[in-house]
Structure 1
C-alpha cells in the first residue's frame, strides 16, 4: 500500500540536548563524516575531538539518520550505535511493522530523491521541511517482503562494492603500468636495438659541438651501446616569450589549456606562438606540459619549453612525464610552491639514437592507447 513517512515513523520528534551534557567519549556525528554518494561513515569522532557549540540531536542504535539539507539528501543511514548528531541530521524511528533498513533504501531511492528536490526552503542552504518530509509517499510491502527486498539490495550492493574495489585496483595497476612502460623505454628495454643506427653521441655533438661526449657511457653499463646520458639542460631550455603591448590576444592560462574555461583576452603580455610547449612552473602540478592550440600570451604560471632540434620532442616529453612525481614532491617555495628548476635541469636523460627515439615513442603511444581504452571502458 501507499503511505506517508509521517504515518509510519516519528519523523520530526527529536531529542535535543545541549553539547554541555555530552560526555567526552560520546560519538558526535557531523555531515562531513558521511560520504555523499554512499552515506558510508568516513570517520567516527568523539566529543573530545570536536569543537562544537549549541545543541545536538540524540539518536539510538537502529535509528534512521536523515540529512535535511537538500544538497545532501542522499546522506541517509541506519545508526550502527548510539550518539549525537548535528541538527542538520534528523534521527527518527520507523514503527513496528516497518523495517528501518527498508525505509532507509526508499529514502535513498531516485524516486524519493526526485520528490525531495521539488520541495525545500531557504536560498543559501535549502532544506527539506518536516512537513514536506512527512508528506513524502512511501510504497509499503508486507514486512516479510521488506526483509527480502533489503536482503536482495544488500546482495547486489556487496557485488558492486567488489566491482568498484576491483576497478580502483585496476586503475592503480594501469597507472603503474604506464610508468613502467616509460621506465623500460628510457632504459632501452622497450624496442629492439639496431646496430646500424647513428650513435647518440653524434646527434648530441650537433646539439652542442663544444660538449664533451664520451661514447657508450661507461658509467651507465645498463644502457644499450650507442646510448648516452646527459643532463636535461643540454636538451631543452625554459624561457619567457617576448613582451608585446597593444595587441589583443588570448591569455593561455592553465584553466584554458585544460579545457576548464574559455580564454580571456589581454592587450599585453609575453607572446607564445601556436603549437609551442608551455611547462607549468608554479602551483601544485609543476612540471605539467601543454601544447598551445593557438597563439596568445603566455600564462603567468608558465615558462616556454624549447626542445633541441636533434631530439625527438615526444621522446623528451615522455622523459619529463616520468619525472613528474619527483618534480611535484620537490617543489620549492611556501606561499606559492614552484618548480625546482635546478632539479629539472639536472635530470639525467638517457638518449638513444634518433631512429630508436622514433620507435620508442611509437611503442609508448601504442601501449598507452590500449591502456587508456581499458580505463575508459571500466
Structure 2
C-alpha cells in the first residue's frame, strides 16, 4: 500500500467534490461568496483590511455559453475556460484564493531581540520540522518581548515557507493553534469568515507549492503566486463534512505509518537479537559429536605454517593462543611464553566446544588494506572502493572504477577479491567501520576486482564460514567504528587493530547450522521489510 499516494488521492477526491455526497439543501457557494465580500467590506471599515486589499478581488461565473468568465473591478470580463482544471459539483463555485483569505508575510527581528522567554513566540521556517498533517511546532523556543502587533499571525491560520528549500520539498504547511510571529522566510493565510480553516488547509496540502515557485537560484513564492490560485469553494456545511472525513482518513493512514515504523524498528531489533544469540551459541543447539573448534583452529595453524614455509604468508610476530584453563577461565599465551588471564577482556562466555581467537587466526591471508589505485576511463580490472560497500548492507559494484592497465602487474593473484571476502571501510567520517560481504553474484559480469587503499579485506580460512565471520563483525560494527584512530575527520582503522579483534569460533558443523538459520530468518524479515517499502 502506497500511503503517500493514497493520502494524495483522498485530498484530490475531496477538492473535486467526490469524497462526500452533496446535500442539495446546503446554502450554495455563490451565496457564501456574497457573504465573504460583505465581510471584507466590514473588515475595511473596522481597520482589519485596507481598501487596496480589495482592488484585485474578482468574480468568476459561468456564462450562457457554459464557459467560465472572470469579472474584474474595472468592469472588464475575460474568458478563463482554459484555466479551469476540472468541473465542480452543483452548488460549488470557483474563486481566486486571494478572494477568500487574508495573506500575511513574515518579518525579521534582530537576533538580539530573540530570547529564551518572552511575551510572544517567534517561529522560523527551520523550526517547522514536522511530518505532514501535524498541528504543532517544533521550535528552538525563541521569544520576543518587543514586537509590533501588526506582525502577529492569528491563531487558526496556516503558515508555510516563503523562501528556501522547504518550497522545493513541498513540506512544512502547518495549522496554528496559537497567536505567533513568523520570520521573513514564512507566510501565513487566514480564511475570511465563514470559510472553514480546515477545508482551506486540506486544499493547500493537496497542491504542490514547488510548482508556483517564482524564484530563480533560491526557491521563493510571493503574494502574486498565492492570490491568483484557483480555489474550489464548496458550501460551508460541505466544507465541514469534507474536512471531517479527510481528518478521519488521514488519521488512519498516520496509524498505518506509525505501525509500519514500529514494525520496521522491531525487525531491526530482531535482526540484532538473532545475531546476538548466534554469536553466543544460543541460536542453534550444540551437538557433542561435532569436531571441537579447538581441533579446527589447530588444523588452520598447521596449514598457515605450511604457507609460511612456502613464503606465501608472513608469520605474525605478535602471535598468541587463547585457551580455557582447568579453572574455566580464559587465558592468552604469547609467543614469548607469558600467559595472561583475559576473563575481563572477553564480552561473554562461549559454549564448551567453542574457542576464542583473534580474527587473524581464522583467516587464510593477511588482513590488510588494498593498494592506492591509479584509475582509468576503461580497463579490464575494477577497483573496489568504500562507496561500493553501501550503508544498506549491499555491495554495489556499479560504483567501482576501472584500474589503469599499466598498474595491474602490481597485484598478486591473492589480492583479487573472492566470493565470501569481508570488506571493512577503513577511513572516512561516516563510513569508517562499515562491514560488508562480497559475493560473486554482486559482480554479474565476473569482472576481476581488487580492493583500494581505503578498504580492508578479511578472507576466512578453510572450514571457517565467511558468513559466520560477517555476522560477528556486523554485530560488533558499532564497537569496531569506535576503534578508529586519529583526529575526528581523519580517523582510520589500522589493519593491526582489525587483526586483533577477538571472536568466538564454533565447530564447523555448528557454523553451518548458524549460517543456515540466520539466512532463513533474515530472508523472511527482508520480505516483510520489502512489503513495508511499498507503504510510503
Q: In the comparison of the two structures, how many residue pairs are matched? A: 367
CA distance in 2, matches of 1:141, 1:327: 61
The structural deviation recorded for 1:48 is: 6.0
Structural mapping, 1:155-174, within 5 Å? 155-174=248-267
Report the equivalent of 1:365. 519
Question: 1:64 touches 1:79 (CA, 8 Å); kept in 2?
Answer: yes
Equivalent position of 2:438 in the other structure:
291
Cα distance in 1 for residues equivalent to 2:301 and 2:112 = 77
Distance 1:314 1:14, change over 3 A: closer
Cα–Cα, structure 1 residues 164 and 119, in superposed 2: closer, same or farther, change >3 Å? closer
Mapped to 1, the partners of 2:191 and 2:266 lie a distance apart of 45
Which residue of structure 2 lines up, in the alignment, with residue 68 of structure 1? 162
Question: How do 1:63-142 and structure 2 match up within 5 A?
Answer: 63-69=157-163, 70-109=167-206, 112-113=207-208, 116-142=209-235
1:238 aligns with 2:367: yes
The match for 2:140 is 45
Give the superposition deviation at 1:95: 0.5
Counterparts of 1:135 and 1:344, CA distance in 2? 64
Assess, with a 3 A threshold, how the Cα gap between structure 1 residues 261 and 68 changes in structure 2: closer, same or farther. farther
Q: For residues 244 and 331 of structure 1, what CA distance do their matches in structure 2 show?
A: 23
In the superposition, relative to structure 1, how do residues 310 and 42 fare at CA in structure 2: closer, same or farther (>3 Å)?
farther
Q: Contact 2:371/2:453 (CA < 8 Å) preserved in 1? A: no
**What secondary structure does 1:124 align onto?**
coil
Q: What is the deviation of 1:302?
A: 0.9
User: What is residue 352 of structure 1 aligned with on the other side?
Assistant: 506
**C-alpha contact 1:216 1:227 (8 A) present in aligned 2:** no
SS in 1 for 2:351: coil
Q: 1:45 to 1:117 in 2, by over 3 A?
A: closer
**Residue from 280, 303, 309 that aligns with 2:425:** 280
Mark the structure with the bigger radius of gyration.
2
Spell out the pairing of 1:164-243 with structure 2 (5 A cutoff): 164-209=257-302, 212=321, 214=323, 218-219=328-329, 223-236=350-363, 237-241=366-370
Q: Distance in 1 between matches of 2:504 and 2:129?
A: 45
TM (normalized to structure 2)?
A: 0.61
Unmatched runs of 5 consecutive residues or more in structure 1:
50-55
- Aligned equivalent of 2:477, options 319, 324, 334: 324
The alpha-carbon distance between structure 1 residues 72 and 365, as it changes in their structure 2 partners (threshold 3 A), is closer
Summarize the Cα distance change of 1:307–1:17 in structure 2 as closer, same or farther, 3 Å threshold: closer
Give the CA deviation at 1:250.
Answer: 3.1
Q: Find the aligned partners of 2:525 and 2:375 in 1 and give their Cα distance.
A: 46
Separation in 2, partners of 1:60, 1:330: 54
| Equivalent of 1:263 in 392, 396, 400 | 400
